[in-house]
Amino acid sequence: MPSLGTFVLLAAFVMGAYAAAASVVGARRRSRRLIESGLGAFYLVTALMVLASGIIVHAFVTNNYAIKYVQRYSDMAQPLAYKLASYWGGLDGSILFWVFLLSVFGAIAVHSNRERQRELIPYVVATIAIVEMFFLFLMVIHNNPFETYLTETHADGAGLNPLLQNFYVAFHPPALYIGFVGMTIPFAFGMAALITGYLDDSWLRAVRRWTMISWFALSFGLVLGMLWAYEELGWGGYWGWDPVENAGLLPWFTATAFLHSVMVQERRGMLRVWNVSLVIVTFFLTIFGTFMTRSGVVQSVHAFGEDRELALMFTVFMVLMLGVSFGYVIHRLPLLKSRHELDSWVSKEAAFLANNWVLLFSAFFVLFATMFPTISEALMNQRLTVGPPFFNKWMAPIGLILLILTGVGPLLAWRKSTVRNLREQFLWPVVSAIVVGGAVVALGVRVWSSGLCFALSAFVFGTIAQEFWRGARVRQGGTGTDVLTALVGLVARSRRRYGGYVIHLGIVLMFLGFAGEGFKTEEQVLMKPGQQTTLRGYTVRYDGIRITDDGQKQMVTGHVTLFRDGKQVGAMEPGRHFFRKREEEPTTEVAIRRGVAEDVYVVLAGYDMQTQSATLMLVVNPLVNWIWFGFAVMAMGTGIALLPESTFAFAAARAPAGTVTATLLLLSLLLWPAALAAAEPQHVETPQSAAVEVARTPVEKELWRELVCMCGTCGRKKIGDFCCGYAAQMRAEVRTLLDQGRTKDQIFAYYIEKYGSQEPLAAPIDEGFNRLAWLLPYVFGAAGLGLIVTMAMRWSRKPASAAADDGATEARVEADQSLSTRLDDELRDLD
């Protein structure tokens, strides 16, 4: 199996090389057949990558610990979902996943544009194939995920880092990678346009949707990362300007800039050089981000493996790529002349340009500050580092400038705004900003940047509301319906524009969340059971700690009761989990009480079993939930903007993502009071003795996990969960039964008899899903094979000329049809 995997990678590399060569040669010689064969090879790479993914997933599911990668990133005890997530748990697998995604995206993009962009396709194929080849080369030479141990045998794996065994992280890398990889498609089309010289705006149309989807996936990945940092790492924040976080943010800035500047080129034919360059820079930053986090160029708290060889390969690739692409840009400068000049600084174009400059500046500033230790070491032999405060000092004003532009851009007219329409447009947004600003001053908000942020948010909100309102009124006048219907019709008619406004709205809500950061309170206290402390109107009482074990990990849970104005508002259980084989790295289980206005966030930072005392970190995070909610709004906006004729598969795959997050977040916002009102546990807590009770034999441990506490109020907790005194009695009972020499089955029988049903047994593991999951790799493999076979069948058909007459006419009709659709398209563009 592993050797087959390696072979598939090699085959994919060769195929990619052929696809690139055949496409370029075919395009230069105008040989249709060569181009087609290049295309075929390109699709074959996709099939091979599906197969390779199937093999690695199969290895994970079947616990094939002969493969190093599988041994290092998974183990027997892991739930199945995380076994699948282990696929991208490490470097080698993420590269494989990267190429897999790229080949699939490339195939879709090429297939859907093969008629419309006939001249560009060969070069698109060649570009994507070359990028694939680079990563395949990395894998084959340096990081082969299929590498096996030569002599050692392992019965079990080292396990996925427990920090990564979290719901958000299962989706975080794939989302980021979709974003990163998706940016390769616009780059490939841009390069093809540069090489062929077909630099009209049609290549932009081909990639607009791709950019939008990638941009959204990137945003989604970043937000998931923030959520994960907030809930899993337990330092009370969600963004620490860590190199790894910044690596994902850099391409986000340039992609956002590109999404805006494309509109200027579409409307006014300006900024052509700029757009091509932005696409190249965005792609470069995705590669650079990967390089930065993986090569140890920037040392961060995540001690990534420093890897000279990998760094060298990446550097060579990046230098070549930049050289070739910008060489072409310079070569094509005469063709990239813009049709118009900037007429006035008081115009939409100028606002877009300003937005682009600010975003690009942000990208380069973050890049500079992230690389600062490396740069200073190279220049001055002094390692100087800059911390988050430095980033915040710069990025807070930059963020506010962007917020202003978000509000100003839509209000300005194209070409030149007159004084009269400036007055008309700016009146209400400015009024709303002044009202909120006045309120901020009156309430005496101490943090000026947050106060300014509130006022500016009001300004942008006013702008968006005004746009919707005026548009709806105009439409109402035209169609004579009620306002709401007019509004829906308006959004449906110009989806991109109003989808964009909804995204802006989401951004504003996120900014509210960021502004809340200025009012954060944090306290670290050492408490004994029964002690209380107060923080921002809350009273926190610490009740004690408890240790439990579920076989995969040992859990230390602190019990904290929260009061507000003397009323008990909830019980919180911050904890630490010590995973098996990773006792040195306990994970932090944060207890969060979410709220519309603020989160209460409790971390068990340290504890002492002897004295039962604990060190707690208490944080009050105002407005933090608006970040997640704002993202849900952004997802809705993206959905609206992409709604039309977006390929069915993506619509199906994305709508749930957007709606699910939105619904979940809405629900979490609506339901938290209900959740808080949930009944208090009714059974009596027995204080645990300081000495921890442990199972003596493996059989006893199993029984602890497979028998349920029968006290009636524990809610079917296992007796090994130390839930109450009754469970302790049952454990003692189990121990005596074992001492009498009874087997596990006899003990089960004893309990079934005692309670008259199977109730004391914990539910048997559901076999159905597991069986399905076993099928997965085979399905993958079969799909890959099927693809190969159908391709082979289709290409080996005789050419039309040798076929029967009716076949020939059919082919001709088909050709005519494809030609006429192209003609239609091109004529439509002339309107």
Partner 1 sequence: MKQRAIKIALTTLVLVGAFSGLLYSTLRDGTEYYKHVEEVSGEPSRWYGKKLQLHGFVVDKSILRRRDSLDYRFKIQSNGSVIDARYTGVVPDTFKDGSEVVLKGTLGPDGFDVAPNGVMAKCPSKYEPGK
Q: Can you give the binding site for partner 1, defined by CB under 8 A?
A: 72-73, 89-91, 158-159, 161, 163-164, 235, 244, 301-305, 372-373, 376, 382-387, 389-390, 393-394, 524, 526, 528, 582, 584-586, 605-606, 613, 615, 617
Query: Between 437 and 529, whose beta carbon lies closer to partner 1?
Result: 529
**Element holding 723 (H helix, E strand):** none
Residue number with CB closer to partner 1 (470 or 528): 528
Distance CA(281)–CA(480), nearest Å, equals 48
Smallest distance, Å, CB 449 to partner 1? 15
- Minimum CB separation of residue 741 from partner 1 in Å reads 41
Complex with partner 1: residue 243 or 777, whichever CB lies closer = 243
Least separation in angstroms between residue 269's CB and partner 1 is: 19
Helix axes of 698-706 and 744-755: crossing angle, nearest 10 degrees: 30
Bridge partners of 618, per DSSP, are 523, 602
Helix (H) / strand (E) element for 85: namely helix 80-85
Which H helix or E strand runs over 296?
A: none
| Least distance (Å) between residue 9 CB and partner 1 | 21
Shortest distance, position 617 Cβ to partner 1, whole Å: 6
248 vs 506, beta carbon nearer partner 1: 248
Query: What are 757's two structure tokens?
Result: 């049903």
C-alpha span between 728 and 725 (Å, rounded): 5
State the DSSP string of 449-483. HHHHHHHHHHHHHHHHHHHHHHHHHHHHHHH---H
**H/E element holding 599?**
strand 598-608
For residue 144, give the H/E element and its range.
none
Nearest to 234 by CA among 603, 622, 576, 524: 603
Closer to partner 1 by Cβ: residue 206 or 605 = 605
**CB nearer to partner 1: pick between 25 and 163:** 163
| Residue 613 Cβ vs partner 1, minimum distance, rounded to whole Å | 7
Nearer to partner 1, 23 or 295 (CB): 295
Q: Which is nearer to partner 1, 89 or 760 (CB)?
A: 89
Q: Which is nearer to partner 1, 611 or 682 (CB)?
A: 611
CB of 799 to partner 1, least distance (A): 51
Q: How far is the CB of 551 from partner 1 (least distance, A)?
A: 21
**In 462-597, where do the E strands start and end?**
521-527, 532-535, 538-549, 553-564, 567-572, 575-579, 587-589, 591-593
In the complex, least distance from residue 53 CB atom to partner 1, rounded to whole angstroms: 19
> From residue 508, how far is each of 467, 500, 794 by CA, in Å?
16, 12, 52
Collapsing DSSP states into helix, strand and coil, what is residue 447?
coil
The residues near 580 (Cβ < 8 Å, ≥ 6 apart) are 77, 159, 551, 552, 553
String of DSSP letters for 203-214:
HHHHHHHHHHHH
**In angstroms, rounded to a whole number, what is the distance separating the alpha carbons of residues 554 and 577?**
6
CB nearer to partner 1: give 524 or 746. 524
Nearer to partner 1, 302 or 771 (CB): 302
C-alpha span between 437 and 391 (Å, rounded): 26
Cβ 409 to partner 1, closest distance in Å?
Answer: 21
Neighbours of 649 (CB within 10 A): 9
Closest CA to 719 of 686, 762, 750: 762
Between 32-61 and 91-113, two packed helices, what is the crossing angle to 10 degrees? 140
Q: Which is nearer to partner 1, 526 or 762 (CB)?
A: 526
CA-closest candidate to residue 709, choices 739, 683, 688, 744:
683
- Rounded distance between C-alpha atoms, residue 438 and residue 451, angstroms: 10
Least gap, CB of 746 to partner 1 (angstroms): 41
Least distance (Å) from partner 1 to the CB of residue 117? 35
C-beta of 386 vs 800, nearer to partner 1: 386
CA distance 358 to 67: 47
> If residue 705 lies in a helix (H) or strand (E), which one and from where to where?
helix 698-706
Provide the minimum distance between the beta carbon of 567 and partner 1 in the complex, in angstroms, as a whole number.
Answer: 29
Question: Closest separation between CB of residue 175 and partner 1, Å?
Answer: 16
CB of 164 vs partner 1, minimal distance in Å: 7
* CB proximity list for 430: less than 8 A, separation 6 or greater: 459, 462
Of 377 and 829, CB closest to partner 1 = 377
Geometric angle at alpha carbon 251, from 245 and 253, rounded to 5°:
95
Closest separation between CB of residue 377 and partner 1, Å?
9
Say how far apart CA 312 and CA 541 lie, in whole Å.
Answer: 55
Closest CA to 95 of 250, 317, 366: 317
Q: Which is nearer to partner 1, 40 or 296 (CB)?
A: 296
Distance (Å, rounded) from C-alpha 524 to C-alpha 616? 6
Residue number, 89 or 658, with CB nearest to partner 1? 89
Tell me whether residue 236 or residue 639 sits nearer to partner 1 (CB atom).
Answer: 236
Between 387 and 656, name the residue whose CB sits nearer to partner 1: 387
Range 24-30, long-range pairs (CB < 8 A, 24+ positions): 24/122, 24/123, 24/126, 26/122, 27/122, 27/123, 27/196
Q: Are 579 and 159 in contact (CB under 8 A)?
A: yes
715 Ramachandran zone, left/alpha/beta (phi>0; psi -120 to 50): left
Q: Can you tell me which residue has the tokens 């195939």?
A: 107
How many of the other CB atoms lie within 10 Å of CB of 320? 12
Strand partners, 542: 560
In the complex, what is the shortest distance from the CB of residue 69 to partner 1, in angstroms, rounded to a whole number?
Answer: 11
Q: At what angle do helices 184-196 and 202-228 cross, to 10 degrees?
A: 160
Q: In Å, how far from its chain's centre is CA 711?
A: 43
CB of 588 to partner 1, least distance (A): 9
